[in-house]
Structure 1
Amino acid sequence: MRQVGKIVSASPLDYARAFANPWTVAGVLVLALWMITDLALLSRADLSFVLPVTASAYVLIALAGHFLLHERISAQRWVAIVVITLGVVLAEETPPRTTEGPPEQLL
């Protein structure tokens, strides 16, 4: 957003310029893709399984920041990354309890 600068006026043109920024468009597209993927996962598995798996995004973002952007990650955050990873593995190892059948029978 530093490319756009501060928006200090109420002009819709300034806001349109900010939303037309390629990084903003890419971010919105990635968010839309994540939402569609999340809904697809939730339609096939239990919430108690999907949420821990989506928590792996925190691990991937931290690793990408470290290796691609050369960010420094403290020991405390590395411990948190390991805890999140263990939680995801534990959630994946538990048997699914998703019930099969038409939605009206599940109520």
Structure 2
Amino acid sequence: MRVLDFLWVLSGVLLNAFAQLLLKAGANSVGEISMSAGAPALWRTAIGLAQHPGILGGLACYVVSVVVWIVALSRVDVSIAYPMLSIGYVVNAALAWWLFGENVNAQRWLGIGVIVIGVLLVANSGSRS
């Protein structure tokens, strides 16, 4: 894979990962959402979330990531690009641990390591000419 092509793919992956982290920050602002709280409470929660900078930022990252991803797919086989989304697991696990204090234990890191090895194998498997 050419460096520029990889950068398109990586940009799409990172935008997607950051979108998840921003959405998590927004979700954390309201706590656990109970579907049994009743329509008025759910409506207030939805309005609050719709105005939260984390939710808005996450949605913006998703929109931009779709555009970037389309460019990446025009340059790279989907069978190579799509597995690279797994890089987002590494980014999200590390940043969730750092930003949100989430417990990322050794078993999770081992699983993420297996994913990374798989992504490297796919990335080095070749591409269209």
TM-score normalised by length of structure 2: 0.61
- After TM superposition, the runs of 4+ consecutive aligned structure 1 residues lying more than 6 A away are none
- Aligned equivalents of 1:58, 1:47: Cα separation in 2: 18
Deviation at 1:17, TM superposition (A): 4.4
Match of 1:79 in 2: 110
From the CA coordinates, give the structure whose radius of gyration is larger.
1
Q: Secondary structure at the match of 2:102?
A: coil
Please, what is the CA RMSD of the aligned residues?
2.7
- The structure showing larger relative contact order (alpha-carbon pairs under 8 Å, at least 6 residues apart) is 2
Identity level (%): 26
What is the aligned length? 97
1:17–1:65 Cα change, 3 Å? closer
- Aligned equivalents of 2:45, 2:108: Cα separation in 1: 38
Structure 1: which 5+ residue stretches go unaligned? 99-107
Amino acid at match of 2:80: F
Match of 2:123 in 1: 92
Match of 1:102 in 2: none
Structure 2: which 5+ residue stretches go unaligned? 1-26
TM-score normalised by length of structure 1: 0.72
Query: Is 2:101 the counterpart of 1:70?
Result: yes
Higher helix share: 2
